[in-house]
Amino acid sequence: MRLSVEGVSVRFAGISALSSLSLAVAAGERLGVVGPNGAGKTTLLNVVTGLVRPVAGAIRLDGHTLTGLPPDAVARAGVARTFQTPRLFSRLTVAQNVRAGRPLDAEPWLRLVGLLPRRGDLAAALTPGEARRLELARALAGSPHVLLLDEPCGGLGPTETEDIAALLDRAVAPATIMVVVEHKLRVISRLCARVAVLHLGEKIFDGPPTALRADRRVLEAYLGKSRAS
């Protein structure tokens, strides 16, 4: 299994959000994607999942073209994602959110993320950390080939951040392709052996997290003169 982003370009109102971007992620690989605000990180996930159509380039999964497919077809092909702000059905229960119209047993997935005791509660009653866990359970319930995570620790304190990182470490199947967009570099370093840095829609670095601080382009474009969190 291999996810390929091949020369993808996206423009919004004449502004380039992604410019001839190419990435490839193999089965079992965990790729971190970082960069300053406006770098194109969420746009990349939106293109892969069919929410945004590129003006050039292609998205392929195991050789099959995903470009131009609607989001539901991309999901059926085995791609799941979470969002910067969890998109839950607030008036449905925790268990109903995991099922989301699918004929599956929600309890194993809720147990996996530590939410089984809250299966009958409304999603609206969850804390921010619990909401992130629920969205992750819903994504994992489809047993996806590709899991895309958009700031899974966004807005969380140190303890909840550590909990989510530990959960991802143990809950994601070994063969799953995982792409993590995250501003917290400690999370990226823990979860991912490889990181890509985007700047103004272009990839300026692709390598191990340990090499980030030694790369001049990254220091100038992303880290600046301050230390990263």
CATH number reported for the structural domain that contains residue 32 in this entry = 3.40.50.300
Residue 62 lies in a domain: yes
The arithmetic mean of pLDDT across residues 53-69, rounded, is 96
Give percent of the chain above pLDDT 70: 97
Angle at 155 between CA 215 and CA 201, to 5 degrees: 40
Domain around 113? 2-223
Long-range contacts from 161-168, C-beta under 8 angstroms, 24+ separation: 161/187, 163/129, 164/129, 164/132, 164/133, 164/136, 165/190, 165/191, 167/113, 167/114, 167/133, 167/136, 168/136
Residue 104 lies in a domain: yes
pLDDT tens digit sequence for 109-160: 999 999 999 999 999 999 999 999 999 999 999 899 999 999 999 999 999 9
Residue 229 lies in a domain: no
Q: Is residue 138 within 8 Å of 95, Cβ to Cβ?
A: no
Residue 228 lies in a domain: no
> Which one has a higher pLDDT value, 213 or 125?
125
Q: How many domains does the chain have?
A: 1
The arithmetic mean of pLDDT across residues 60-67, rounded, is 95
